[in-house]
Amino acid sequence: MIAIKATNISKYYRIYSSPTERLKEILLRRPFHKVFTALEDINLEVLRGEALGIIGENGAGKSTLLKILSRTLKPTSGTLEINGRTAALLELGAGFNPELSGEENIHLNAYLLGLTKDEIEERKADIIAFSELQDFIHQPVKTYSSGMYVRLAFSIATSVNPDILIIDEALAVGDQRFQKKCVDRMVGFRESGKTILFCSHSMYLVQTLCKRAIWLDKGRIRMSGSAEEVTRAYEDWSMEKGKQYEKETRELIQTQSLPPPCRILSVTMTDLEGDPIKEISRPFQTVKLSMELKAQEDLPVHLGFAILRADELLCFCSITSFDGLQPIQLKKNEQKRVILELKGLNLADGSYKIMGGIADEHGLHVHHALCAPPFLVRYKAKEGIGVMTLPRKWSFE
């Protein structure tokens, strides 16, 4: 059975440069506004019991879509069909009256979600217990921290036994232990046949919690499919965009500052035969990292390589100073090639990039850094998640 069906949903906003332009439009009956498209022609079906992930960069339209699906915002055009009670956790503090206490906001929010007075009284103790705000429940919520807001909002949204639970990125401000409680409860909802719409910048959470995902880009659905396929495509796209941003930033810095005393000309990763590697399909492969560099003057330097994941997580770093080597003396106009051999590279599935760097004789100040084109790690068999993969054998005693 369909829980949510959105057909040709669009949302447009009129943008005025000043209040005067709005008044002129009313009086002169001529447009003095620009149209901003937040969503355009969104078609979506979510089945009962399905967990759908929604991903995309900031400004892609994710929050607007969730507000429309939770009926807190009307679409400009299109039709929406919702089957079942909906509870939503949207932006921080949404639906709370800051002057009321936490307990009074429980009554207000639960009533708006369709509970009777008796049902609210019956569930109030569980809501307070889950939020762990017993000592503050009679204080005005305007005195709450952002984490306390989330605790109370999530507790209310999930304690009214909704058929459809909509979660925006709000969980990101909670502490790790409470995030674990929230994830456990959402997993319980999913296993009990509830429908979940989950928006997050954590690709791991989307892959783990959801079987299907959509990728929003500039108000449109750019991709829809399995959570693993969509998140991988989004990560690859984000990496390419980050690479372009790094290039533009590097070019801007170069035009605004003095040239470094030495420069990296290229960074590559190859196999033992010297062939460039674009994709690794087997674990524990031996690779060679190399960089070509040229000095503009005589100077001592330390050299290093780093492996970064698509989200900029540092997976590996080695600098000649770390390995006990003395500074390398470069000569003016000398071109040098440096090679670092890594035996048994065992990265987990994902997108990565190699960065080469030149530092001063102390290994502290970086003269220049350059990234090689990104490469992928894709194994035929699922090798787990995280940063690396290891040989393993399970046993039970």
Residues 155 and 63 in one domain: no
Give the per-residue pLDDT at 93: 58
Give domain status of residue 330, yes or no.
yes
| 62, 87, 114 from 74: Cα distances, Å | 15, 17, 20
Task: Say how many domains are in the chain.
Answer: 3
Q: Which of 155, 156, 137, 147 is nearest to 175 (CA)?
A: 147
Give domain status of residue 242, yes or no.
no
Residues 42 and 173 in one domain: yes
Residues 11 and 67 in one domain: yes
Residues 179 and 69 in one domain: yes
Residues 133 and 217 in one domain: no
Question: Which residues does 44 contact at the CB level (< 8 Å), separation at least 6?
Answer: 4, 5, 6, 9, 214, 221
Give domain status of residue 252, yes or no.
no
Give the per-residue pLDDT at 41: 92
Give the per-residue pLDDT at 337: 92
Residues 280 and 217 in one domain: no
DSSP string for 202-218: -HHHHHHH-SEEEEEET
Whether the CB-CB separation of 282 and 389 falls below 8 Å is answered with no
Distance in angstroms (rounded) separating the CA atoms of residues 218 and 242: 17
Kind plus residue range of the DSSP H or E element containing 179: helix 176-191
What does residue 229 show for φ and ψ, rounded to 5 degrees?
Answer: -65, -45
Residues 208 and 339 in one domain: no
- Here the CATH number for the domain that contains residue 12 is 3.40.50.300
| 92, 103, 167, 289 from 149: Cα distances, Å | 7, 12, 14, 48
Give the per-residue pLDDT at 4: 93
Which of 47-77 are b and which e, b meaning 16 or more Cβ less than 10 Å from the residue's Cβ? eebbbbbbbbeeebbbbbbbbbbbeeeebee
Q: Both tokens of residue 181?
A: 């409680």
Q: Which of 233, 237, 261 is nearest to 333 (CA)?
A: 261
Give the per-residue pLDDT at 88: 82
Give the per-residue pLDDT at 40: 92
Whether the CB-CB separation of 41 and 8 falls below 8 Å is answered with yes
- Of the residues 146, 161, 176, which one is the last residue of a structural domain? 161
Whether the CB-CB separation of 368 and 338 falls below 8 Å is answered with no
In order along its 397 residues, the chain shows pLDDT tens digits of: 899 999 999 999 988 888 888 888 888 888 888 889 999 999 999 999 899 999 998 889 998 999 999 888 899 999 999 998 888 877 655 678 888 999 998 988 888 777 888 888 888 998 899 888 898 999 998 898 888 888 888 888 888 788 898 888 766 555 667 777 887 888 888 888 889 999 988 887 888 888 899 999 999 999 999 998 999 888 888 877 776 766 666 665 555 455 778 889 999 999 988 899 888 888 888 999 999 999 888 999 999 999 998 878 888 999 998 888 999 999 998 899 999 999 888 888 888 899 999 988 887 788 888 888 888 888 766 666 677 777 777 778 8
Residues 186 and 103 in one domain: no
| 85, 285, 321, 323, 340 from 343: Cα distances, Å | 56, 7, 20, 16, 10
In the block, tokens 């506004």 appear at 33
- Residues in a beta bridge with 371: 355
Residues 331 and 213 in one domain: no
Residues 127 and 33 in one domain: no
Residues 31 and 106 in one domain: no
- Here the CATH number for the domain that contains residue 326 is 2.70.50.60
- Of the residues 161, 185, 213, which one is the last residue of a structural domain? 161
Question: Which residues does 342 contact at the CB level (< 8 Å), separation at least 6?
Answer: 286, 287, 288, 289, 316
Give domain status of residue 389, yes or no.
no
E strands of the chain, at which residues? Answer: 2-15, 34-47, 51-55, 77-82, 86-89, 164-167, 195-199, 212-217, 220-226, 262-270, 279-280, 285-295, 299-309, 314-319, 328-330, 335-345, 350-359, 366-371, 375-377
Give the per-residue pLDDT at 170: 62
Give domain status of residue 385, yes or no.
no
Give domain status of residue 237, yes or no.
no
Give the per-residue pLDDT at 249: 61
Distance in angstroms (rounded) separating the CA atoms of residues 166 and 147: 18
Give domain status of residue 37, yes or no.
yes
pTM: 0.63
Give domain status of residue 236, yes or no.
no
- Of the residues 161, 186, 205, which one is the last residue of a structural domain? 161
What does residue 251 show for φ and ψ, rounded to 5 degrees?
Answer: -65, -35
Residue 352 lies in domain: 258-377
Residues 280 and 359 in one domain: yes
